[in-house]
């Protein structure tokens, strides 16, 4: 196994965790990871040696997820989202831009700059979305931890 393949394999647990948090479904998440890995292998020549493999893979996964969400939105009535409990319910209430930042920083432990690179947005935008997302999550959760189901844009 060459160095690039080893670096990719090391990131699979992170990719799976992020995909499961995004989708809330193990099977759909595994499909997303598989698509990400396939695309990464097909485009490995585009990865810059010495750059962060995790950030590169997360960016690929994020783009696949966003494109698939756009396709699903164009087909109303199909692929109804799964209802999740507790924190997942609260995360689902966040606008996508805030949820993606929360998951990358809070779940995956990326730095602001790395999340900005994954999402292809300025670091200041990452910081403000992260702050608004954390505030919204606190507001969504009642004192007993049950989310209040309402959408915040």
- Give how many domains the chain has, as a whole number: 2
Query: What confidence score (pLDDT) does residue 76 get?
Result: 55
Query: What confidence score (pLDDT) does residue 53 get?
Result: 94
Q: Assign 27 to helix, strand or coil.
A: helix
d(CA 66, CA 128): 20
Choosing from 55, 82, 109, the residue where a domain stops is: 82
For 67, what's the count of Cα atoms within 13 Å in the CB-facing half-sphere? Answer: 9
Helix 112-119 to helix 53-73 angle (10° resolution) is: 50
The pLDDT tens digits of the residues spanning 12-57 come to 999 999 999 988 889 999 999 999 999 999 999 999 999 999 999 9
Query: What confidence score (pLDDT) does residue 90 get?
Result: 80
Choosing from 49, 82, 115, the residue where a domain stops is: 82
CATH number of the domain within which 45 lies: 1.10.1740.10
CATH number of the domain within which 128 lies: 1.10.10.10
**Do both 127 and 91 map to the same domain?**
yes
**Do both 71 and 95 map to the same domain?**
no
Query: What confidence score (pLDDT) does residue 137 get?
Result: 85
CA 60 from chain center: how many Å? 10
Query: What confidence score (pLDDT) does residue 62 get?
Result: 94
**Do both 78 and 88 map to the same domain?**
no
d(CA 104, CA 58): 9
Query: What confidence score (pLDDT) does residue 88 get?
Result: 77
Query: What confidence score (pLDDT) does residue 101 get?
Result: 94
**Do both 77 and 90 map to the same domain?**
no
Instruction: Let me know how many helices (H) and strands (E) the chain has, helices first.
Output: 7, 0
Q: 65: closest CA among 31, 17, 106?
A: 31
Measured over the CA atoms of residue 64, residue 65, residue 70 and residue 75, the dihedral's sign is positive
pLDDT at 77 over 50: yes
For 39, what's the count of Cα atoms within 13 Å in the CB-facing half-sphere? Answer: 16
**Do both 116 and 66 map to the same domain?**
no
**Do both 97 and 77 map to the same domain?**
no
Q: Residue 44 belongs to what domain range?
A: 1-82
**Do both 58 and 106 map to the same domain?**
no
pLDDT at 78 over 50: no
**Do both 96 and 74 map to the same domain?**
no
Choosing from 27, 56, 82, the residue where a domain stops is: 82
Residue showing tokens 């699979």: 12
**Do both 76 and 2 map to the same domain?**
yes
Q: How confident is the model at residue 86 (pLDDT cuts 50, 70, 90)?
A: low
Q: State the average pLDDT over residues 86-115.
A: 89
**Do both 3 and 74 map to the same domain?**
yes
**Do both 61 and 117 map to the same domain?**
no
The pLDDT tens digits of the residues spanning 116-148 come to 999 999 999 999 999 999 888 888 765 344 444
Q: Assign 41 to helix, strand or coil.
A: helix
């Amino acid at each position: 196994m060459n160095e690039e393949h080893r670096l990719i394999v090391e990131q699979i647990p992170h990719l799976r965790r992020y995909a499961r948090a995004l989708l809330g479904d193990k099977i759909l998440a595994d499909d997303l990871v598989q698509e990400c890995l396939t695309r990464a292998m097909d485009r490995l020549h585009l990865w810059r040696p010495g750059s962060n493999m995790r950030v590169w893979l997360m960016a690929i996964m994020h783009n696949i997820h966003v494109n698939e969400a756009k396709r699903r939105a164009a087909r109303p009535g199909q692929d109804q989202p799964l209802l999740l409990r507790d924190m997942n319910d609260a995360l689902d209430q966040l606008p996508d831009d805030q949820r993606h930042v929360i998951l990358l920083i809070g779940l995956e432990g990326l730095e602001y700059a790395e999340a900005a690179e994954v999402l292809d947005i300025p670091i200041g935008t990452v910081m403000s979305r992260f702050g608004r997302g954390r505030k919204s999550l606190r507001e969504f959760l009642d004192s007993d931890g049950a989310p209040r189901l309402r959408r915040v844009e």
